[in-house]
A and B are shown apart, each in its own frame.
Chain A
C-alpha cells in the first residue's frame, strides 16, 4: 500500500526482546541477553535508516513531505467521534527521531557489552534497555496524543527502572523515586491538557490537530478560565508535561540526580532520547501552539531561555563529571525549547523549528558521545570526580580524541555539527527577541568554558594516584565512541532545512555571518579562559571561587533548589496539608466505618439473649407475631 508497513517492526522488535530477555534472561549466560538485545536493536537501527532514506529521498510533492500512516487500529471507542487509536505515524520529525533513537540506543547497547560486563543483573539491564527503546519508539511514532501519553508514561517507568538499576544503593533508589515523582507530577499537567484539548476538539489524532487549516478548534474561542483562553491553558498544561520530561526549570531537579544510573543509561535516556521527548512533544504540537496559543509559545521560549542560562551557570561549579554533563544537557534542552518558542510557521519563518530539531539531532550525537566518553573515563578511574582525574590523555588516546571532538562540537567550533545547529538557533532567537538572543549568546560562551574546564581537568594536568594505571577501554566501548564522533563531525552537513521543517516544505538557509562569527568567537573565548585556568594546575580557580564567596557557594549547591523543594514538601505540604488529610482519613472516615462495626456488635450483644434455644419461645413469638399482624390488618384496614 504505502510500502512502509515494515516500520511497525521497529518498536515491536525491542518489545519482543524485552519480553524474551526479561522472562528467560536469568536462565542464560548473561552474554546471550546482551548479544540478543544488541542484535535486535541493530535490526531496528537498520530498519530506521532504511525508512529514513526511503522517506526523505523518495521524493516529495509540491506540498512537501506528507505524513504517512502505515498502520492504525482503533483501540478504544469512547464516543462516536472520540476514538483512541494505536498506530504508526511517519512524518519528518518522527522519522528523524527514529534515526536518533535507534542510533544512540544501538551504540549504547554495544557499549554496555563492555561497560556492564560482569555486573550483577546484566540480563535485567538489557531487558530494561529494550523496554525503554520500545517505549521511546512508540512515543515518537504515535498517531495520536493519547497513544503518545501511554508511551510517555512507559518511558517514565523504564527511566525509573534504569536509574534505580543499582537498587542496593540508597542514593540510586532515592534518585529513581525523585525522577519518577517529579516527572509524574508534570505528567498530571499533560493529562489535564490532553483532556481539555480533546474536550474542545473532540479528537486525539495529530493529523487533525496539527493541520494548519484545522477546523476542529471551532468552539475554542468562547471558552476560557481566569481571563486566559482554554486553548492557552491546554497548551501550557501540555507544555508542563513536556517540561517535566525535558527537565525544564523549575522541574529540572530530577535530572542531575538521575546520574546515579549506569552511565550508558545516562547517555541513552538522560542525554539523547527521553529528555528530548518534551521538545519533541512541543514540536509535534507546534501548529497548535502557533495558531491557537501563541502566548503558550512565549512561555516555552522564556522557560527554555532561562533554563539554559541557569543550568550553564551551575555546570561551571560542579566537580562530578556526570553532573557537569547533566547540567549541560539541561542547558542544551533549554536551547531547543527556546528555538521552538521563537519559531514561526512555514518557510523562513519556521527557522527556529528547524533549528530546534537540527540541534536535537546533533545534540543527541555529541551528548551521547560525551556521556559514553565519561563512562569510559569512570570505567578506567573508578571515580566520578574531576579531582581524581588528570593527565588521562596519555593512557586513553581514543577516549581523549573522541571527547575532544565532542567538546569542540558542543562549543560550536566550525565545521563540527554543533556549530551549524547552534548558529541556526541564535539566528532564530535574534529575529524574535534580542534579550533571549543575548541570553543564548552568553550561554554559548559558558558552554564552551565549562566543557573545556572538564576537558582540561580530566585529560591534562598532573597524574593522580591511581589504584592501577588507567587503560583504554575495550573495543566494544571504543567503537561506539568512534562512530558517534564521526556522526558528531558530519551531522552538521545534513541539509536539515530541506528535510525537517515546520510545514514539511523545504527552504533555503544561508550563513548569517553577523551572528556566526561572534558566536564562534565567544566559544573560542570560553575555551581560551578554560585553557588559561585549567591547563596547568593552579590556585587561580580556587582564588576566583573564594572571591565570589556566597555566590559561588549558592551556585555550587545548585541555588539550593533541592533544599527549597524539600522544605516545601516536608515542612509545608506534609505538615499543613498531608497531616490534616491523614487525620481526617484516620479519624473521620475510618472512625465512621469502625463506628458502624462497633454499634452492630454492641446491639447484637444486647439482644442475643432472645435466642434462647427454647423451641417453644420461638413458636410463641411466631404465633404472637402472626396474631398481631392479623389483628392489626383487621383493625386498621
Chain B
C-alpha cells in the first residue's frame, strides 16, 4: 500500500528487531548494551503499532499517538536506567550484570 510494500515486510522487520532485542538482553553482560536491547524491543513494538494503524485503520490515528507515547516513556526510562547504571558503577566499579546479584534469597 505504501508504494506497494506489503505489510509482511514491516512485520518481519519488527519481529527480527524484537528477537534481536530479547537475545541481546539475555546474552549481553554489559548493562548499557542490555539497555540498548530493551530499546530495540520497544521500537519493534512501535513499528507494529504504526504499521497496523496504517494498514488496517488508515483514517484513524491511535496507533501513531501510542507510538509517540512509547517514545516519550522510553526516553524517561532510559534516563532512569542510566542513572541506575551510574550508581552501580560508583559502587562496584564496573557495569557487568553478573556482579549485580545481591538481591537474592
**B80 to A: closest C-beta gap in Å:** 16
**B58 to A: closest C-beta gap in Å:** 29
CA distance A620 to B24 in the complex (A): 11
Contact A619 B104 (CB under 8 A): no
Contact A619 B98 (CB under 8 A): no
Across the interface, which residues of B come within 8 angstroms of A215, CB to CB? none
The reply on B97 being an interface residue by CB < 8 A is yes
Contact B104 A612 (CB under 8 A): yes
A616 — nearest CB in chain B belongs to which residue? B26
| CB contact between B103 and one of A608, A613, A616 (< 8 Å): that residue | A613
Across the interface, which residues of B come within 8 angstroms of A612, CB to CB? 101, 104
Interface majority SS (helix, strand, loop, mixed), chain A: helix
Residues in chain A within 8 A of chain B (CB atoms): 608-609, 611-616, 619-620, 623
| Other A-B pairs beyond A609-B105, A616-B27, 17, CB < 8 Å | A608-B105, A611-B105, A612-B101, A612-B104, A613-B100, A613-B101, A613-B103, A613-B104, A614-B97, A614-B98, A614-B101, A615-B100, A616-B25, A616-B26, A619-B26, A620-B26, A623-B26
Query: Could you list 20 examples of A-B contacts with CB < 8 Å?
Result: A608-B105, A611-B104, A611-B105, A612-B101, A612-B104, A613-B100, A613-B103, A613-B104, A614-B97, A614-B101, A615-B97, A615-B100, A616-B25, A616-B26, A616-B27, A616-B97, A619-B26, A620-B26, A623-B22, A623-B26
The reply on B59 being an interface residue by CB < 8 A is no
B29 — nearest CB in chain A belongs to which residue? A616
CA distance A109 to B91 in the complex (A): 82
Across the interface, which residues of A come within 8 angstroms of B102, CB to CB? 613
B31 — nearest CB in chain A belongs to which residue? A615
Segment 14-72 of B: residues with Cβ below 8 Å from A: 22, 25-27
**B20 to A: closest C-beta gap in Å:** 13
- Chain B interface size band reads 10 to 19
Residues in chain B within 8 A of chain A (CB atoms): 22, 25-27, 97-98, 100-105
Across the interface, which residues of A come within 8 angstroms of B25, CB to CB? 616, 619
**A603 to B: closest C-beta gap in Å:** 14
**A222 to B: closest C-beta gap in Å:** 68
B22 — nearest CB in chain A belongs to which residue? A623
B102 — nearest CB in chain A belongs to which residue? A613
**A263 to B: closest C-beta gap in Å:** 70
**B10 to A: closest C-beta gap in Å:** 21
CA distance A608 to B105 in the complex (A): 6
Across the interface, which residues of B come within 8 angstroms of A615, CB to CB? 97, 100
CA distance A612 to B22 in the complex (A): 20
Across the interface, which residues of A come within 8 angstroms of B105, CB to CB? 608-609, 611
CA distance A613 to B102 in the complex (A): 6
Across the interface, which residues of B come within 8 angstroms of A614, CB to CB? 97-98, 101
CA distance A623 to B103 in the complex (A): 20
CA distance A613 to B105 in the complex (A): 8
B103 — nearest CB in chain A belongs to which residue? A613
**B38 to A: closest C-beta gap in Å:** 10
**B74 to A: closest C-beta gap in Å:** 18
**B33 to A: closest C-beta gap in Å:** 12
CA distance A608 to B26 in the complex (A): 22
Across the interface, which residues of A come within 8 angstroms of B26, CB to CB? 616, 619-620, 623
CA distance A616 to B98 in the complex (A): 8
**B27 to A: closest C-beta gap in Å:** 8
A620 — nearest CB in chain B belongs to which residue? B26
Across the interface, which residues of A come within 8 angstroms of B98, CB to CB? 614
CA distance A611 to B105 in the complex (A): 6
Among B98, B100, B102, B104, the most chain A Cβ lie within 10 Å of the Cβ of B104
